[in-house]
Structure 1
Amino acid sequence: MTVRETIEERERKTLSKQASLSQNTQGRAVDEDPCPVRTCYQVDRDRILHSKSFRRLKYKTQVFLSPEGDHYRTRLTHTLEVSQIARTIARALELNEDLTEAIALGHDLGHTPFGHAGERVLDRLVPGGFRHVDQSLRVVDRLEKDGAGLNLTWEVRNGIAGHSKGEGPLHEPDPARRPATREGEIVRLADIVAYVNHDLDDAIRGGLIAAESVPRRMLRSLGDRHGRRIGVLVEDIIATTRRVDDGHIHLSQERAEALLALRDWLGMHVYRAAGVDREFGKAARILEELFRFFLEKPEALDEFGAGWDRTAPPETRIADFIAGMTDRFALNLYRRLFLPEPWKVV
């Protein structure tokens, strides 16, 4: 028996009947020999972790544009916090931690530079629109490894596709867009638990809001400290899911209402605050000018290392290039293309 088969046997014996067992995967788009040491979901997690798009998350905005302080979150630290929260829940509910972690690590690979401001720009400019969720799948299916993709399992891809809520409900009402696994449902909730709490923490640290300005009714339900709020929500998800026991992941109505209220409050006082909006407006103009430059000169994509997928329409290739940029790459490229260089005497 191989190491992988031993792990699969352990899963069968120890995980919940609701868990997604590695041996029962619906497989990959391209069949490949199984790893003798790792399960299929471990392989997926490792492929995402070692991908270029994952490393670039380090320099992509979460809330604050290119923050200079050492302790502000980036898209990478957000991803790691989602993974930690999701794995804690998965372990408590005896679900598949490896699948949960793989989905969590891959859920934001398609995010643009400059946060949701970049996504709004591309959504307006790309025919048919742009969603970072769809782009995350395109990254793992088509763009990584010079066009070969990561060939992830169906379950990981499904979890990535079903994680996003935007300003909508916690639980997707459309069954076709709902995560098919309990592990995918966990990541969907862990994502909002992570970002609502760490965005609030960063906004207070950055002086954008005062801690006392957060409505007390929300804090009474969720807690008045960052770690306490996460603990309350994680414990509530575990307890409520066990109590309801219908094969899905749940947050109690009280905590869900408080969490959504805090999300909406942050939308008004942080995400759309005048100072934040002003800087993201500048960033949006940068991305729009870059998009129009490459639309006029699509041959320049090859010069800047974006020569993949030549079968795609120009707008798609440009969106691939821009969505893959880090904040600093986009700023540096803009300077190179549009700002004059000082004359140097040789």
Structure 2
Amino acid sequence: MDIRKTIEQREEKTLSPHACLSKNSKGRQRESKSCSIRTVFQHDRDRILHSKSFRRLKYKTQVFLSPEGDHYRTRLTHTLEVSQVARTIARALCLNEDLTEAIALGHDLGHTPFGHAGERVLHELVPGGFHHVRQSLRVVDILEKDGEGLNLTYEVRDGILKHSKGQGGLLTPDPDSAAVTLEGQVVRLADIIAYVSHDLDDAIRGGVIAEDDVPKEISQVVGLKHSRRIDCMVRDLISASLQRETSIGLSDEMDEAIRALRSWLYDHVYRIDRVHQDFVRASHLLRELFLYFIDNEETFLLHGGRRLKGDSLEISVADFIAGMTDRFALSLYDKLFLPHPWRVL
């Protein structure tokens, strides 16, 4: 029995006419034998989930650097929350949940240690710049499996590449910048829904701000408590998208409120001294590692760095540093730059 074909037939009968059907995928970069149990998007999800890059997200900063408490988000828990939000939306809109989940699980695989501080350092140092979105695609295309990559489908790769909105608008007016599938568009908005809510939640837990500090004109629209915020934003997105049919979006009121909340978080959480100073120190650490490895290639290779054919040393070092967890970067810096007591035999 070919279970995959049964699932594909079920998709054709039950999903929205605007959903991306597994059987209609544009395929992979390299030919690969089809699985008799899983659709191509299920297979992609599993390849991402079992990758080394995915496991390393557990020890990468989301907002708070190496927090002592066990309840603060990491890059991994952020990814899982994005996946949950995105799947809820996809199911409500009768879109392909497997494609949505695969994009969500892979969207941040290229993120650096120490959050966006690490990204900014590499952007300054690497010729041509650095962005975690492009790096995420590089991870799945090239770096995983010792240079073979994961050989994902076109639709998952496109969704990963186009998931980020930076500090710009939540929705892009440029069709070339939007994901080609509605599932990819869902992940783009699920990402910001997840992080503006859980970053606010962590900031309150950490005593950086108080719950009542959030301007009432924002909290009245998006909600005051974490669960309420997620519920409000997800319900709004589903309702607005059902009216649009062929694109994913938000009501004007919710779009404005989320953008206002994001701006408020930059001013009152991300850029305040208590948070920012840790990232200044982390930036110094990563900069020193990068410059040291550029001048000491043998040491770079000794500690796990890798040169791929055709890549400059700068690109190879950037790949190595971007793949580090926070704790590995701290440990390596300690080993290379800090004095240690002699062992007396």
TM-score, normalised with respect to structure 2? 0.99
CA-CA distance at 1:244 after TM superposition = 2.5
Determine helix, strand or coil for the equivalent of 1:149. coil
- Does the C-alpha gap of structure 1 residues 308 and 144 become closer, same or farther in structure 2, counting only changes over 3 Å? farther
CA–CA distance in structure 1, aligned partners of residues 100 and 115 of structure 2: 24
Residue number in structure 1 paired with 2:206: 206
Question: Is the 1:112–1:325 contact (alpha carbons within 8 Å) kept by the matching residues of 2?
Answer: yes
The equivalent residue for 1:141 is 141
Equivalent-residue separation in structure 1 for 2:307 and 2:40 (angstroms): 27
Q: 1:302 and 1:167 mapped to 2: Cα distance?
A: 36
Indicate whether 1:47 and 2:50 are aligned: no
**Residue in 2 aligned with 1:220?**
220
Hey, what's the Cα distance between the residues in 1 that align with 2:301 and 2:29? Answer: 28
Partner SS, residue 340 of structure 2: coil
Shift, 1:308, TM fit: 4.1
Any stretches of 5+ residues in structure 1 without a counterpart?
none
Given residue 302 of structure 2, which amino acid in structure 1 is its aligned partner? E
C-alpha distance in 2 between matches for 1:133 and 1:148: 19
Output aligned runs, 1:153-164, within 5 Å. 153-164=153-164
Give the letter for the 1:300 counterpart. T
Name the structure 1 match of 2:235: 235
Equivalent position SS for 1:79: helix
Aligned to 1:276: 275
* 1:37 maps onto 2:64 in alignment: no
Tell me if the contact between 1:60 and 1:75 (Cα under 8 Å) persists in the aligned partners.
yes
1:153-187 per-residue CA deviation (whole Å, 9 max, x = no partner) reads: 00000000010011011112322221000000000
Alignment-mate amino acid for residue 88 of structure 1: T
Question: For the Cα contact (< 8 Å) 2:211–2:224, is it kept in 1?
Answer: no
Q: Partner residue of 1:255?
A: 254
- Which residue in the other structure is 1:124 paired with? 124
Corresponding residue for 1:103? 103
Quick one: which amino acid aligns to residue 263 of structure 1?
Answer: R
| Equivalent AA in structure 1 for residue 103 of structure 2 | I
What secondary structure sits across from 2:140 in the alignment? helix
Q: CA deviation at 1:278?
A: 0.6
Who is 1:314 aligned against?
313
Match of 1:168 in 2: 168
How many pairs does the alignment contain? Answer: 345
Paired with 1:158 and 1:311, the residues of 2 have a C-alpha distance of: 24
Structure 2: segments with no counterpart, 5+ residues: none
User: Match for 1:53: what amino acid?
Assistant: S
Q: Distance in 1 between matches of 2:275 and 2:309?
A: 37
Looking at structure 2, the residues matched to 233 and 308 of structure 1 have their Cα atoms a distance apart, in angstroms, of 44
Shift of residue 62 of structure 1?
0.1
* CA–CA distance in structure 2, aligned partners of residues 310 and 8 of structure 1: 39
